[in-house]
């Protein structure tokens, strides 16, 4: 980096001195250790897959090897995750609206499970494929029973 030459005027740089201290670039394993340690210290390690941390470390090590750049990338990712409009909306929902949203999400997952079950049944018993509408009606009826509880 040529920071002293670019930032300081000639008079100031002569008083500061032109002694340069070279810093070696960090290697991939070093960057992985640094990033993981900082994520764990910030209780954010669960947000990142180990492959994602290694990918970030490889990219940064290939360009500059600067640990600050790798940490900035992770920080920007975390900021983007919590800055999305959907996340902000959910964070500011009143308690009862949040409970309703969670209930709808559970129902959607349950519906997907029933649909998946129906498709498995059709694959296991292809001779009953003509009875597909019956099976779908059965799935709909069972889901309605569960929702009416």
Instruction: Check residues 55 and 122 and name the one with the higher pLDDT.
Output: 55
Confidence of residue 141 (pLDDT cuts 50, 70, 90): confident
- Is residue 16 within 8 Å of residue 4, measured between CB atoms? yes
For 142, residues 6+ apart whose C-beta sits below 8 A from its C-beta are: 114
Question: Other CB atoms closer than 10 Å to residue 142's CB: what's the count?
Answer: 13
Segment among 33-42, 96-105, 133-142 with least mean pLDDT: 133-142
pLDDT in tens, 45-104: 888 888 999 999 999 999 989 999 999 999 988 887 777 777 778 878 888 888 888 888
Q: What is the pTM of this model?
A: 0.49
pLDDT in tens, 39-58: 999 888 888 888 999 999 99
Closest CA to 129 of 119, 139, 138: 119
């Amino acid at each position: 980096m040529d920071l002293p030459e670019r930032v300081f005027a000639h008079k100031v740089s002569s008083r500061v001195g032109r002694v340069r201290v070279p810093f070696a670039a960090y290697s991939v394993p070093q960057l992985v250790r640094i990033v993981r340690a900082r994520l764990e210290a910030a209780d954010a390690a669960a947000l990142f897959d180990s492959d994602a941390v290694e990918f970030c470390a490889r990219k940064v090590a290939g360009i500059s090897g600067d640990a600050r750049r790798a940490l900035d990338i992770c920080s920007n990712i975390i900021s983007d995750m919590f800055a999305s409009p959907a996340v902000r909306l959910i964070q500011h929902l009143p308690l009862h609206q949040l409970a309703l949203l969670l209930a709808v999400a559970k129902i959607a997952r349950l519906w997907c499970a029933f649909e998946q079950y129906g498709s498995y049944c059709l694959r296991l018993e292809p001779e009953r494929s003509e009875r597909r509408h019956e099976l779908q009606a059965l799935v709909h009826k069972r889901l309605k029973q569960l929702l009416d509880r």
